[in-house]
Structure 1
């Protein structure tokens, strides 16, 4: 017979082993949460706090309530930055999603030779240093008449453009830079989606008499929809946070001109050029709301959420 004391001792050992396992599990995941709290959570909370303060980084903070939001929302340059962000985002992001799907279909063809080479080549711009990208595009879209972009225009009988000095020339050049850098990223995601579709579905559809177009409409595109929603979401967020491309393309004059001033550039200018951390934090919160609204709309549209009706038969 097992005595009561032995039962209590076994129970204590069991509980202590459970606690050890629990503590060890928390220790394994603790580094991620500590780093996230220091690098991600604390700056976000502090930024929300700063949005209601007037502070230049050195003097004591002064609570101003919603004044920072009023200053930002009444500033014409802010709305110019919003306009630039949306226009450049549409011009640089929408085409890359369509072209990315087309390139993914081409790279997924079984008879295509050197497929692995083309896949690596199309992904290279994504991992290319922004310094190298800036050098390449500053040469391609130079204001000089002999630049490659102006030479191409001359082949069609068009006048040369001062790309870095004109309103739409700057927007087009930056949009092409965004397209060139990110189209390979979306292509690889679509390619992964195409390769996840089982060939058995196509074989069954072929036996049932479905042609290639019907297979594309009723098999490929519906099964590729989650990947499309994912890329649209990431592209929307990335387009609204555009900063690196216009900054490196315009160089030192990026923050003194409004042709390609984006919302993040406006935020950066307030914080680190004008030392107005309160308005910069208010801009960050406004940008967060804009991103949430645009992302929700795009996700609903691409996932078929708008206008969706449940089909059924009432009995």
Structure 2
């Protein structure tokens, strides 16, 4: 039986049917509810994040700008605001040898603390990444020093590193070594303060490294095992390339924290500010001494704060450039060890 199409029966000479309607139609009016919904989609993300920026403007941005205003005025703790002096406060700070000594001490303590801290933290994270019994207990155990109050840590380590009757010097005497002047010698005081910093922050950085290691795809390790790579080779050829962005993050944050160190150096010896010869005074402790200590000069103290801020900004820019270079490269390149390596 033949199937008839819609055009069946129409003659070849019949005129075609009417074409599509090309008459312009009036624009459809959007109701208030739809318009409100569109605005809600556009504005709601900014409203959700606005509390952070409001709090940052009140507690971060405004004090920063106000500190810049104070730094260009003669401002005394007792007398209040004085006349405008421009960059004279900055010139006075840079001309003081104590500032340069404090800056040198700050970088020395940072090097003695950050380098061992990063190495020990990444080693502990590699151990915790293995199949250990009671893994949660060990992972929480490394975080215990971080939750201890800095004041308590400083007081305890201040007694451990006491020049006389200190526990560390007693141990050195047992093994036949001479006692160390932890508060008198400049380098020894830096080692003692760096030990306190390492005690507090190594566990925290360990957990960050551990989180990064657990995000590494397991198939990379399986491929490395097939290629005959051992544990050490897997660590340097698979783990380290995959977490290098985290390593950069830890190094930069440790640098910023080292530049702002205050609690440990302030409580290392409560009798003075950085020792008799300022042998362990840091930049923040120097700022405290200038603003609230002997000089009581808020203008110079604000100048010290801004100099430290600019140093941190430079390090932050270096961090941005390094991170951008890492993000644009292939994170998997070089991760798999060569066969027979």
TM-score where L is the length of structure 1: 0.85
Q: What pairs up with 1:1-315 in 2 under 5 angstroms?
A: 8=29, 10-19=30-39, 26-57=46-77, 58-110=79-131, 112-145=132-165, 147-254=166-273, 257=276, 258-273=278-293, 274-294=295-315
Distance 1:236 1:154, change over 3 A: same
Shift of 1:170: 2.0
Task: Give the distance between the partners of 1:300 and 1:98, measured in 2 at CA.
Answer: 23
| Secondary structure of the structure 2 residue equivalent to 1:205 | helix
What is the SS of the residue equivalent to 1:251?
coil
Structure 1: distance between partners of 2:129 and 2:202: 16
- Residue 127 of structure 1 and its aligned partner are, at CA, apart by 1.1
Q: Residue 22 and residue 126 in structure 1: after superposition, are their counterparts in 2 closer, same or farther (change >3 A)? A: same
Q: CA 1:27 to 1:193, structure 2 compared with 1: closer, same or farther past 3 Å?
A: closer
Shift of 1:249: 1.4
Give the structure-2-normalised TM-score.
0.79
CA distance in 1, matches of 2:38, 2:146: 46
Q: Tell me the SS of whatever aligns to 2:143.
A: helix
| Aligned counterparts of 2:168 and 2:325: Cα–Cα separation in 1 | 39
SS in 2 for 1:62: strand
Rounded Cα–Cα distance in structure 1 between residues aligned with 2:66 and 2:88: 18
Other structure's SS at 2:76 match: coil
Distance 1:185 1:77 in 2: 33
Q: Secondary structure at the match of 2:62?
A: helix
2:3 maps to what in 1? Answer: none
Q: CA deviation at 1:81?
A: 0.1
Question: Does the 8 Å CA contact 2:118/2:205 hold for their aligned counterparts?
Answer: yes
Q: Which has the larger radius of gyration?
A: 2
Let me know the Cα RMSD of the aligned residues. Answer: 2.7
Once the 2 structures are TM-superposed, how far is the Cα of residue 210 of structure 1 from its aligned partner?
A: 3.2
